A and B are shown apart, each in its own frame.
Chain A
Amino acid sequence: MATIQTEGLTYRYGIGTPFEKTAVDHVDLEIEAGSFVGIIGHTGSGKSTLIQHLNGLLRPTEGKVLLDGVDIWADKSKMRQMRFRVGLVFQYPEYQIFEETVAKDIAFGPRNMGLAEEEVQARVRETAAIVGLSEEILKQSPFLLSGGQKRRVAIAGVMAMRPEVLILDEPTAGLDPRGREEILQEIQAYRNQTGATILLVSHSMEDVARHAKKILVMNAGKVFCYDTVANVFRRSQELQAIGLAVPQITRVCDALRARGVPLTDDIFTVEQAKQQLLEWYHRTRGGQGTC
């Protein structure tokens, strides 16, 4: 069943000025409940604008956004309630941190929900555990933390509201490889614990290939395609034409296949490649005896 749905969603900004632009152009989408969707697209393809519609931060110029079949703009008084159900983590979310301690900052969202103090504290602790922030850090000032830790605090601030749909706009931008993988693992952990739907905007095809089940490709404000990871990355020529790429390992495997190595065309992670290459290696070695 679809949790978030858009119908002919269009957003134009700067109407009436020389800077008028259509950022999102007639987007029809259906996001299944509990899915993990990767959103990719060239810079300026409308990804960020699109996701800001999904929790009502931007009002569509035309079209509708439906949450569980209900138009989110139908009743504006329910907008705040809706925002607690669809959590949005912006790009470089560290700038939203403002409290004296990490715990207080994570508690900002839950407090706004009007939860009881015990419930707020419980959520802060649970969420801190998901993103790997220790009790010690909870008492510190968030401004003294490292970049990666600040990012975790900001993400936890949204997760603490326990949204059914968690949307993250490039949550790993500017982090080192280990930090990236840790953050992605933490997002998976949140999904496993709560069964939430995850929408992950990313520029890293590797990250999307590893974690997402489906991929939404945006190009020039329109949906280029929305399909399973395998079906999307099989269209590597088309992706390259709109300035995107397939994961590096897929390109390596394509080149190997062109040289006669028997690999399938649905390899998107290093693990898959490793497995198939090892199988092939053992097969050929087994056939030829020892080298």
Chain B
Amino acid sequence: MLKDITIGQYFPGSSPVHRMDPRFKLIMTLLFIAMLFMGQHLYSICFGIVFCILALALSRIPVKLIWKSIKPLIPVLLITAILDLFMVDSGDVYLHWHFLKITAGGVRTAVLMVTRIIVLLAGSSLLTYTTSPIALTDAIERLLSPLKKLHVPVHTFAMMMTISLRFIPTLLEETDKIMTAQKARGASFSEGNLLQRAKALVPILVPLLVSSFHRAEELATAMECRCYRGETGRTKMRQLHAAGRDYAAMTVTLLLFTGAVAVKIIF
């Protein structure tokens, strides 16, 4: 059940997208999001869709996986679509029944919003699917490094992020383990009213907290044993180097971005 959560999960591979410099991927993802949300016109999101399809094709991530990360959000998508459909009131009226009114503007907004969210999910989940968490935080640290001049503890934040990302699967696994153990003792998590269900969480949360504290302490000791003392004097094992394909991909992204900007200005 908990293992079904795929958002933020990394799927190792050797596609061109996997091998790309994580800094470029991060910036490109930000540009992609900007592209999607820039214009209100149907044309403007086309650029985002093109980007998404290109990236998906190059990454060789099975569509099934992408679908898995979209599936849980179907209810949200439906609500968004229905709200847009009935609330937006502009253009030709297609249907008028009592207080319900479907207009051309409503249909357009609904289609736009749903496409936008699906493309956004598909495109941005690609970032974590193809980039290991370590590479990702490394990229964030590099991109934010100018802030060090302002005495922002960028390295510490990056380390904290790395550690928390690293422990998400561990904690999920642990939660699963504890839940199974309590189920074996007859606990049930899906019966009773809200209060009973909340109470049923105690046998999971207490052991989880206890072990998290233990783990944090052990990790801190282990880091100290290996003489970790923050950023001072640390070099990187993995140096990030931008290659030709990174610049090529960035150029394509920038072109698409410019296209989206142009559409916004023209229409």
Residues of A within 8 A of B202 (CB): 98
A17/B186 in contact, CB under 8 A: no
Residue among A112, A143, A161 with the highest chain B CB neighbour number at 10 A: A112
Residue B90 CB within 8 A of the other chain = no
Residue of B nearest to A55 (CB): B184
B182/A83 in contact, CB under 8 A: no
B178/A83 in contact, CB under 8 A: no
Residues of A within 8 A of B210 (CB): 95, 143
Residues of A within 8 A of B181 (CB): 90, 93, 95-96
B184/A112 in contact, CB under 8 A: no
A18/B12 in contact, CB under 8 A: yes
Choose from A16, A80, A93, A97 the contact partner of B186 (Cβ within 8 Å). A80
The range of chain B's interface size is 20 to 34
Residues of A within 8 A of B245 (CB): none
Q: Is the interface of B mostly helix, strand, loop or mixed?
A: helix
Q: With contacts A55-B184, A87-B184 known, is A16 near B64, CB below 8 A?
A: yes
Kindly provide the distance from the CB of A85 to the nearest chain B CB, expressed in whole angstroms: 11
Residue of A nearest to B65 (CB): A17
A108/B207 in contact, CB under 8 A: no
Residue of B nearest to A111 (CB): B186
Residue A201 CB within 8 A of the other chain = no
B203/A161 in contact, CB under 8 A: no
Mask of A106-130 contacts with B, CB within 8 angstroms, 1/0: 0011001100000000000000000
Assembly CA distance A189 to B62 (angstroms)? 54
Residue A36 CB within 8 A of the other chain = no
Residues of A within 8 A of B240 (CB): none
Q: With contacts A16-B64, A18-B11, A18-B12 known, is A97 near B207, CB below 8 A?
A: yes
Residue A70 CB within 8 A of the other chain = no
Residue A57 CB within 8 A of the other chain = yes
Q: With contacts A98-B206, A108-B203 known, is A90 near B64, CB below 8 A?
A: no
Residue of A nearest to B12 (CB): A18
Residues of A within 8 A of B183 (CB): 57, 83
Mask of B147-189 contacts with A, CB within 8 angstroms, 1/0: 0000000000000000000000000001001101111111110
Residue B145 CB within 8 A of the other chain = no
Residue B196 CB within 8 A of the other chain = no
Assembly CA distance A167 to B183 (angstroms)? 14
A113/B180 in contact, CB under 8 A: no
Residues of A within 8 A of B258 (CB): none
Assembly CA distance A93 to B64 (angstroms)? 36
Kindly provide the distance from the CB of B205 to the nearest chain A CB, expressed in whole angstroms: 8
Assembly CA distance A134 to B62 (angstroms)? 58
**CB-CB contacts below 8 Å: B180-231 with A:** 180-188, 202-204, 206-207, 210-211
Assembly CA distance A38 to B81 (angstroms)? 58
Q: With contacts A16-B64, A17-B11 known, is A96 near B207, CB below 8 A?
A: yes
Kindly provide the distance from the CB of A101 to the nearest chain B CB, expressed in whole angstroms: 13
Residues of A within 8 A of B211 (CB): 95
Residues of B within 8 A of A52 (CB): 180
Residue A183 CB within 8 A of the other chain = no
Choose from B11, B177, B185 the contact partner of A161 (Cβ within 8 Å). B185
Assembly CA distance A98 to B205 (angstroms)? 8
Mask of B50-73 contacts with A, CB within 8 angstroms, 1/0: 000000000000101100000000
Residue A9 CB within 8 A of the other chain = no
Assembly CA distance A155 to B180 (angstroms)? 15
Residue A208 CB within 8 A of the other chain = no
Residues of B within 8 A of A196 (CB): none
Residues of A within 8 A of B65 (CB): 17
Kindly provide the distance from the CB of A93 to the nearest chain B CB, expressed in whole angstroms: 7
**CB-CB contacts below 8 Å: B82-121 with A:** none
Q: With contacts A16-B64, A108-B203 known, is A95 near B178, CB below 8 A?
A: yes
Residue among B62, B181, B183 with the highest chain A CB neighbour number at 10 A: B181
Binding site for A on B (CB under 8 A): 11-12, 62, 64-65, 174, 177-178, 180-188, 202-204, 206-207, 210-211
Q: What are the 4 A-B residue pairs with the smallest beta carbon separation, nearest first?
A: A112-B186, A98-B206, A96-B181, A109-B185
